Chains A and B, each alone.
Chain A
Amino acid sequence: MNDESKPLSRRLVPYWLMGPGLIWLVLFFVIPLYFMLRLSLESGTLETGFEFTWDWANYSDGWDRYSEQFFRSFLYAGTATVIALIIAYPLAYAIAFRGGRWKNALLFAVVAPFFTTYLIRTIAWTTILSDDGVVVDVLKTFGILGENGKVLATPSAVIAGITYNFLPFMVLPIYASLERLDPRLIEAAKDLYSSSRAAFVKVTLPLSAPGIVAGTLLTFIPAAGDYINATFLGSTNTSMVGNAIQSLYLSLRDYPTAAAMSFILMAVILIIVLIYIRFAGSEALMGDEEEAT
């Protein structure tokens, strides 16, 4: 049946259903975005007032002054994402395939940290990683850290904090994709001469790829713009672009540059994500193998 044959009111139903979401997006995303874009092209100071002047220099200035922070942001976010993936995949796998009747309890344990606010959790980490804390003690005992070594206020602390805070966003999508996987497919792979390892690489991994992609995006995107972890667990030498934008807004009151920086951040994330999805969606990751011999 084609659409024309339905009465108009019926054809409008999908749009009505989309309505509230669309209005929300326009009010709280598109319109603010427009004002931010405008702001990023204004010049002046808080005292003299800002004026719209197509001041593209905000972008180049911002990039020049804070390129170090940009670089650091993506380095930290990328590292944290990779570490989170390495921790999350086996965890999700174990819950999905070996969880048995403990499945729900284990999933709850993954989500449990969310019952405390982000800020409190991160501040708690300052205690864990403090110079006289247990982590530093253990690392010193094993000689991994020197006598005057510290963890807090180092890049490691920031990356560890980000990894911890975003881990559930990695675990849950991977778990969801593994949970859906029919165990008979793994049996079929073994029946067709795959060892356990080959069955994992050729069947389990490609079929959980959507979960991996979702998890890495959910971790990487907010991590790249994060400033809480760098604020509490880092030092001035580990500040990320989020910190730069925060101080431009709240301390230096240089709104146009702050807005320009936000747009640069958004654009860079968008480009990275598009490239990533392009790669992730390609045959290479989906297991359409050309035997690598």
Chain B
Amino acid sequence: MSLRGITKRFGEFTAVDDIDLDIKEGEFFTLLGPSGCGKTTTLRMIAGFEEPNAGQILVAGSDVAGLPAHKRPTNTVFQSYALFPHLTVRDNVAYGLKRKRVGKDEISKRVDEELQRVGLAAEANRKPNQLSGGQQQRVALARAVVNLPKVLLLDEPLGALDLKLRKGLQLELKRIQQEIGITFVYVTHDQEEALTMSDRIAVMNRGIVEQVAEPVEVYERPATTFVAGFIGVSNLMPGVVRSLSGDKAEVELEAGVTVSAEANGLATGEQCHAVVRPEKLFVAKKGEVAPQQGADAQSVDGVVASSVYLGTATQLVVELRGGSRMTVLCPNTDESERQSLPGGGAEVSLSWTPEHIHLVRESDSERATADHEALGMDRSAAA
């Protein structure tokens, strides 16, 4: 499935701005972004509930833009489930097959199979309002999957459930997806959910796609400051590229040190940010290097601003020269080690292995956001 130059405007507001995406068959593809980034609008255009102002939507090679929703080879799992309250679970699941005039015997066979798959065979004759949230979610999934669509669209399907249930259903969704091999396009604002389930993630912000990559790539090598900040904790150190040698760049950080990292297409003199993930940072007394680190470790000095005990880890926030704040996660593997961690106000040295530092550009959309806010534009319209 492909999107080509898809654009959607609501009056003055551009919700989706000239998006191109290629989604492979059988892929679990996630659209990730904050509310109002255009991810749900994109999904609704694929489903046929909104018409794009420009662009093509190719499903299995043919352009479906302009086709009404009921003629598209897609099915949707709605955020609020949108189960038919007047029909039983069985009739809800059978709804699409009946409309498609599938034979009676086949309908009942496929519906039974699907209810079995989601573990609701015993609830087949209940009405949706007699089910728990998690069960309703499964009915919504079964109702869509039973039609074997070319592409299954899921709009924050786990958004209304509590954390524990959500975790369980994430794995179950992934299992079902692998079992039936249908292409899933999954919309969420939950980065952890996206990382857990997806084959690939498209990170969206303000109507544009900031990065499309596998979860590891998105997390370890974010393309822009927005992606770096949205996936995980925003550990950004601003700097300027001073020189290039091969694919390495020498970057002078505002924090006072010069580091070497992969250039990622940056040019000499360009503003950029260096990212190091919290669990990749080590903390030691000022002037020392953490014992875990090798000889090639890079380091920077700072002052501990806060220290919070999180159970599995202790989270330190270290303020660097120039004002940027770095979050450090120190795993609580050893109690004496934890007790020796520096407290608030202590001067420390942060270090990391060179392969864990990554350079990113400032997001175009971040700049746009800043401009919009400066102009006092209403962003809530985006929701």
Residues of A within 8 A of B (CB): 182, 184-185, 187-195, 198-199, 202-203, 206-207, 286-289, 291
User: Given A184-B80, A188-B78, A193-B100, A207 and B49 touching (CB < 8 A)?
Assistant: no
Residue numbers in B under 8 Å from A189 (CB-CB):
84, 95
Q: A190 — which chain B residues lie within 8 A by C-beta?
A: 48-49, 68-70
Given pairs A195-B68, A202-B95, 17 additional interface contacts (CB within 8 A): A182-B82, A184-B78, A185-B84, A187-B49, A188-B76, A188-B78, A188-B82, A191-B47, A191-B69, A191-B70, A191-B75, A192-B75, A193-B99, A193-B100, A206-B86, A207-B86, A289-B98
Q: Is the interface of A mostly helix, strand, loop or mixed?
A: helix
Closest to A199 in B: B70
Determine if B206 is an interface residue (Cβ-Cβ < 8 Å): no
Q: By the criterion CB–CB under 8 Å, are B96 and A193 in contact? A: yes
B91 surroundings in chain A (CB, below 8 A)? 288-289
Ranked nearest first, the 10 interchain pairs of A and B with the lowest CB-CB distance are: A192-B96, A193-B99, A188-B82, A184-B82, A190-B69, A191-B76, A190-B70, A193-B70, A206-B86, A192-B95
B66 contacts partner chain A, Cβ-Cβ < 8 Å: no
- Number of B residues whose C-beta is below 8 Å from A? 29
Known interface pairs A182-B80, A184-B80, A198-B99. Does A192 touch B143 (Cβ–Cβ under 8 Å)? yes
> How far does the alpha carbon of A289 sit from the alpha carbon of B98 in the complex, in Å?
10
State whether the Cβ of B88 lies closer than 8 Å to any Cβ in chain A.
yes
Cβ-neighbour of A185 out of B75, B82, B104 (below 8 A): B82
Residues of A within 8 A of B88 (CB): 288
Check B70–A286 contact: CB distance below 8 A.
Answer: no
Selected contact of B99 from candidates A185, A194, A206, CB within 8 Å: A194
Task: Please report the C-alpha to C-alpha distance between residue A287 and residue B49 in the assembled complex, in whole angstroms.
Answer: 24
Interface residues of B in 125-155 (CB under 8 A from A): 143-144, 147
Assembly CA distance A39 to B74 (angstroms): 70
Instruction: Report chain B residues within 8 Å CB of A192.
Output: 70, 75, 95-96, 99, 143-144, 147
Nearest residue (CB) in A for B79 is A184
Could you list which residues of chain B lie within 8 angstroms of chain A, going by C-beta atoms? 47-49, 68-71, 74-76, 78, 80, 82-88, 91, 95-96, 98-100, 104, 143-144, 147
Residues of A close to B70: CB separation below 8 A: 190-195, 198-199
Q: With the chains together, A194 CA to B144 CA distance in Å?
A: 13
Residue numbers in A under 8 Å from B143 (CB-CB): 192
Contacts of B100 in A (CB 8 A): 193
CA distance A184 to B155 in the complex (A): 12
Give, as a whole number of angstroms, the nearest-CB distance from A290 to chain B. 10
The minimal Cβ–Cβ distance linking A57 to chain B, given in whole angstroms, is: 49
Taking the closest CB of chain B, its distance from the CB of A8, in whole angstroms, is: 34
Q: Which of B47, B70, B88, B100 has the most CB of A within 10 A?
A: B70
CB<8 Å pairs between A and B, sample of 10: A187-B49, A189-B84, A190-B49, A190-B68, A192-B95, A192-B144, A195-B70, A206-B86, A288-B86, A291-B98
Q: A192-B99, A289-B98 are in contact. Are A187 and B85 (CB under 8 A)?
A: no
Which chain B positions have C-beta within 8 A of A288?
86-88, 91
State A199–B40 Cα separation when bound (angstroms).
23
CB nearest to B47 among chain A residues: A191
Q: CA separation between A189 and B91, bound complex, in Å? A: 12
> From A293, which residue of chain B is reached at the shortest CB distance?
B101
Residues on B with beta carbons closer than 8 Å to the beta carbon of A291: 98, 104
Chain B contacts for A193, CB-based, 8 A: 70-71, 96, 99-100, 147
For residue A81, give the distance in angstroms from its CB to the closest CB of chain B: 23
Residues of chain B within 8 A (CB-CB) of A202 are 95
Cα(A286)–Cα(B85), bound, Å? 10
Q: Which residues of B contact A289 (CB under 8 A)?
A: 91, 98
Task: Report the bound CA distance from A193 to B97 in whole Å.
Answer: 9
CB distance from A280 to the nearest CB of B (A): 13
Residues of A within 8 A of B96 (CB): 192-193
CA–CA, A286 to B91, complex, Å? 12
B350 to chain A, nearest CB (A): 49
Q: How far in angstroms is the closest Cβ of chain A from B99?
A: 4
| Cβ contacts under 8 Å, B49 to chain A | 187, 190-191
**Residues of B contacting A206 in the complex (Cβ-Cβ under 8 angstroms):** 86
A188 and B68 form a contact (CB under 8 A): no
Distance from A194 Cβ to chain B, minimum over Cβ atoms (Å):
5
Give the distance in Å from the alpha carbon of A193 to the alpha carbon of B98 in the complex: 9
How far does the alpha carbon of A6 sit from the alpha carbon of B124 in the complex, in Å?
38
Question: CA separation between A192 and B83, bound complex, in Å?
Answer: 12
Q: Please, how many angstroms separate the alpha-carbon atoms of A211 and B257 in the complex?
A: 73
Which residues of B sit under 8 angstroms from A203, Cβ to Cβ? 84
A188 touches B84 (CB 8 A): yes
Residue contact B85 to A207, C-beta cutoff 8 Å: yes
Give Cα A210 to B173, complex, Å: 37
Chain A positions within 8 Å of B147 at CB level: 192-193
User: Are the C-beta atoms of A287 and B82 separated by less than 8 Å?
Assistant: no
Q: List chain A residues, Cβ under 8 A from B76.
A: 187-188, 191
Task: Report B153 CB to chain A, min CB distance, Å.
Answer: 8
Contacts of B47 in A (CB 8 A): 191
B85 partner residues in chain A, CB cutoff 8 A: 185, 207
Q: Which residues of A lie under 8 Å from residue B82 when comparing CB positions?
A: 182, 184-185, 187-188
| A211 CB to nearest B CB, Å | 13
Give the CA-CA distance A195 to B72 in the complex, in Å. 11
Cβ–Cβ < 8 Å partners of A207 in chain B: 85-86
CA distance A202 to B80 in the complex (A): 20
CB distance from B177 to the nearest CB of A (A): 19
CA distance A207 to B147 in the complex (A): 24
Task: Give chain A residues whose Cβ lies under 8 Å from the Cβ of B71.
Answer: 193
Q: How far is the CA of A198 from the CA of B68 in the complex (A)?
A: 13
A287 in contact with B87 given A192-B143, A193-B70, A193-B99 (CB within 8 Å):
yes
